[in-house]
């Protein structure tokens, strides 16, 4: 077993997706196999469905509220069931978002025998997030929804990060200043994880 799992957490608009893509590219260039789950993309794709659950979830997304734990857990556990093989590296981008989700993810990683998962926190100021999100012009990036997302990050997602930090005998925790250039952040990440 030599699979590495990277968990990238940050506020909406912090650059998680960009850093995850760059990391995936680097792993592939080094000859590794990698599976990247971008939770925001998974949810946006799901929201285009016409079933009842998707419609309920869409209302939550439009308000900028945090999606229920069971849906987030469903998306990433389904990916593990389908794609984890003990050798493929995983990049989990934007999950977990609550302490409850972190606990379930912890059980999932231990079930699969993952050793030393790496948790990467992209720390970004609220002002930077608002500026970045308004520039990308997505329908779910209205100012009130952005402020709501920032509030639940402080209320809920920081508790997930605290869970991983508390269990530093199992997790490697890395905090990166996400207010810098994409290249500087990426280089610091590579230096810290030694790829």
**Residue 9 near residue 117, CB atoms below 8 Å:** no
pLDDT of residue 137: 74
Report how far residue 117's alpha carbon sits from residue 96's, in angstroms, rounded to the nearest whole number. 13
Report how far residue 93's alpha carbon sits from residue 109's, in angstroms, rounded to the nearest whole number. 15
Angle, CA of 152, 178 and 97, to the nearest 5°: 30
Report how far residue 177's alpha carbon sits from residue 158's, in angstroms, rounded to the nearest whole number. 15
Tell me the C-alpha to C-alpha distance, in Å, between residue 12 and each of 26, 47, 183: 23, 18, 19
Report how far residue 36's alpha carbon sits from residue 89's, in angstroms, rounded to the nearest whole number. 8
**Residue 80 near residue 35, CB atoms below 8 Å:** no
**Residue 17 near residue 185, CB atoms below 8 Å:** no
* pLDDT per residue rounded down to tens, the chain (195 residues): 478 999 999 998 999 999 999 999 999 999 999 999 999 899 999 999 999 999 999 999 888 889 999 999 999 999 999 999 999 999 999 999 999 999 999 999 999 999 999 999 999 999 999 998 888 877 777 888 889 999 999 999 999 999 999 999 999 999 999 999 999 999 999 999 977
**Residue 176 near residue 188, CB atoms below 8 Å:** yes
pLDDT of residue 62: 87
Report the residue count for the chain: 195
Domain boundaries, the chain: 5-193
Q: Which CATH architecture has domain 5-193?
A: 3-Layer(aba) Sandwich (3.40)
**Residue 11 near residue 124, CB atoms below 8 Å:** yes
Residue by residue, DSSP assigns 113-136 as T--S-EEEEEE--HHHHHHHHHHH
pLDDT of residue 84: 96
């Amino acid at each position: 077993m030599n699979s590495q799992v990277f968990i990238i957490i940050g506020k909406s608009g912090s650059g998680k997706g960009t850093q995850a893509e760059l990391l995936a590219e680097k792993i592939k260039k080094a000859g590794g196999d990698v599976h990247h789950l971008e939770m925001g993309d998974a949810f946006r794709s799901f929201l285009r469905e016409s079933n009842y659950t998707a419609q309920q979830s869409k209302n939550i997304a439009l308000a900028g509220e945090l999606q229920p734990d069971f849906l987030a857990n469903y998306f990433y556990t389904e990916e593990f069931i389908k794609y984890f093989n003990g050798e493929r590296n995983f990049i989990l981008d934007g999950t977990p978002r609550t302490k409850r989700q972190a606990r379930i993810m912890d059980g999932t990683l231990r079930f699969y025998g993952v050793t030393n998962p790496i948790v990467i926190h992209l720390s970004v100021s609220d002002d930077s997030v608002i500026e970045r999100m308004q520039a990308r012009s997505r329908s779910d990036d209205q100012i009130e929804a952005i402020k709501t997302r920032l509030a639940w990050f402080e209320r809920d997602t920081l508790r997930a990060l605290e869970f991983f930090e508390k269990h530093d005998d199992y997790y490697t925790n890395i905090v990166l200043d996400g207010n810098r250039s994409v290249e500087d952040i990426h280089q610091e990440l590579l230096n810290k994880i030694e790829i």
